[in-house]
Structure 1
Amino acid sequence: MSLFWRIFLLNAAVLAVALALLMLGPVTVSTPVLLTEALILTGGLSAMLVANAVLLRIGLAPLERLSRTMGTIDLLRPGHRLAVTGHAGIAALIRAFNTMLDRLEAERATSSARALSAQEAERRRIAQELHDEIGQTLTAVLLELKRVADQAPPAVRDQLHQVQETTRNSLDEIRRIARRLRPGVLDELGLASALRALAGEFATAGLTVRPSVDNDLPELGREAELVLYRVAQEALTNAARHADASHVVLTLRRRPGGVELCIRDDGRGLGDAVEGAGIRGMRERALLIGAELTVGPAGGRGSEVRLRVPSSQEPVADG
């Protein structure tokens, strides 16, 4: 039975009961209406309205639950589904909503995988250009400056040495950016060494990072290792730029069925701030490999990012 007919019949039943009571009961209406009759009719109308409201509240309760869920659903936290309750039309509507969520989550996972794969390819391309083009150009400039400085008079030589030092620092900075864009150490030395090297990079920026990585990590897929590295990178970036933290503890532990990455800082914490693009990006990466990401307070002062990754991973489609 459709929702229209259910509401219609509920109202019809209330009106029919009221009519039967009026016809069969001892109540009559005089002209003009007496005070007692007016009180009886007012009471009957109130009873009709209350009965109608209760019946409609019961009948439309599943729709209210559906409306609340539609307003709070987040595709970055998948798996939430409504229990199929109610009659005919309402149950069909809830089933359609659950089916829509299944389709949206699948489509988002596919599109996110393609977008992140394209992003990693673009990172590799930019890192390669920084290393091959700009890096080689600055190296040539350094060599030319050295040649000119060797032939320059002493008064100019000191200035040229300062320019050399500035150019060398710029070259080191470009190489550091290229390494962050394309973590070659991840492919060459593995996840544990890559995380330790990442902690060392942030330590040079004034942030004390204490890494602790288990040596007996289970076999993880390439995509899972890349997600772990990128989540750690983003969490350390947030701690350095936004949290006003001075100490960070980075741990990667073996857990039953997988591994757990935890980054805990002593900064000002998250407070009531809305999740930014960085945290949402971490959630999207976690979804791609079936991992569970939690971001919250660190128990005292600061914040904590925790990523639980199962050991068996399917490769992410590169689109």
Structure 2
Amino acid sequence: ALVDRDPARAKGELHQVATLAAEAADELRAAVVELRPAALEEDGLVATLRTQIQVLDRAHSARVTFTGHGVKALPAAQEEAMLRVAQEALHNALRHSGAEHVQVTLRRRGTGTVLRITDDGGGFDPRTVRRAGRHLGLVSMRDRAGGTGGRLTVRSAPGEGTTIEMEVPGG
């Protein structure tokens, strides 16, 4: 009704609504970021990953699964880095790959721990992505892995899906 009676006022009101919505979204993002480490600290990496992956599986058409193999508690910095890498890799797989299935595994390898995210999506050429300046979060994932003494490996090719693996040393 206001649009018909007073378009200028309606425009101002809509601008105010957009501003409030943006502020609310920022507050929600900040709250979620604050909650993640608390869940990780309280429940540990395996339980936190399992819960988040169950939510993603329900929210997306792709099947998202998790398997944990004998992983005990890791140093807090390693657990947070692995969680963030998993979140970024899952985001990329679910948003960009067109995958029907995304598998996340966490397991021991020797004295270290390996996180692997594999999808059956469209894949990409990592060299082309780097040249195009669209890193899909690869740089931040590598930084997170390196910051905990670990390493990140990315295997992908067009039409062949993607595997991202993060390995951290154990004690």
Bin the TM-score by the shorter chain: 0.7 to 0.9
Report the counterpart of residue 14 of structure 2 in structure 1: none
**Paired residues for 1:174-189 under 5 Å:** 178-179=31-32, 182-183=35-36, 184-189=38-43
Rounded Cα–Cα distance in structure 2 between residues aligned with 1:246 and 1:309: 28
Return the offset for 1:219: 4.0
Q: Distance in 2 between matches of 1:226 and 1:280?
A: 17
Does 1:305 find its partner at 2:164? yes
Q: Secondary structure of 2:160's match?
A: coil
Measure the CA separation in 1 of the matches of 2:112 and 2:55.
Answer: 27
Q: Report the alpha carbon displacement of residue 176 of structure 1 after superposing the two structures with TM.
A: 8.5
Higher RCO (CA 8 Å, separation ≥ 6 residues): 2
Please show how residues 145-184 of structure 1 align to structure 2 within 5 Å. 178-179=31-32, 182-183=35-36, 184=38
Cα pair distance change 1:240/1:277, threshold 3 Å: closer
Structure 2 length as normaliser, TM-score? 0.72
Query: Equivalent residue for 1:251?
Result: 105
Q: 1:175 to 1:197 in 2, by over 3 A?
A: farther
Q: Distance in 2 between matches of 1:310 and 1:218?
A: 13
Partner of 1:194: 48
Taking a change above 3 Å as real, the CA distance of residues 188 and 219 of structure 1, as seen in their structure-2 partners, is closer
Distance 1:219 1:203, change over 3 A: closer
Equivalent residue letter for 1:250: V
Q: What per-residue deviation string (whole Å, max 9, x for no partner) do you get for residues 27-51 of structure 1?
A: xxxxxxxxxxxxxxxxxxxxxxxxx
Alignment of 1:273 with 2:129, yes or no, is: yes
Deviating beyond 6 angstroms after TM superposition, the runs of 4 or more aligned structure 1 residues are: 174-177
Larger helix percent: 1
| In 1: Cα distance, 2:34 partner to 2:66 partner | 21
Q: Percent identity?
A: 38
**Structure 1 unaligned runs (5+)?**
1-170, 313-319
SS at structure 2 position matched to 1:230: helix
Residue segments in structure 2 that go unaligned for 5+ positions in a row: 1-23
Deviation at 1:282, TM superposition (A): 0.4
Report the TM-score, using the length of structure 1 for normalisation: 0.40
Structure 2 counterpart of 1:210, from 56, 65, 81: 65
Match of residue 150 from structure 2: 291
Corresponding residue of 1:128: none
Secondary structure at the aligned position of 2:129 is classed as: coil
2:44/2:73 contact within 8 Å kept: no
Per the TM alignment, residue 304 of structure 1 is displaced from its structure 2 partner at its CA by: 0.5
Q: Which has the higher strand share?
A: 2
| Aligned match of 2:74 | 220
State the distance in 2 between where 1:178 and 1:193 align.
20
Q: Give the RMSD, CA atoms, in angstroms.
A: 2.5
Larger radius of gyration: 1
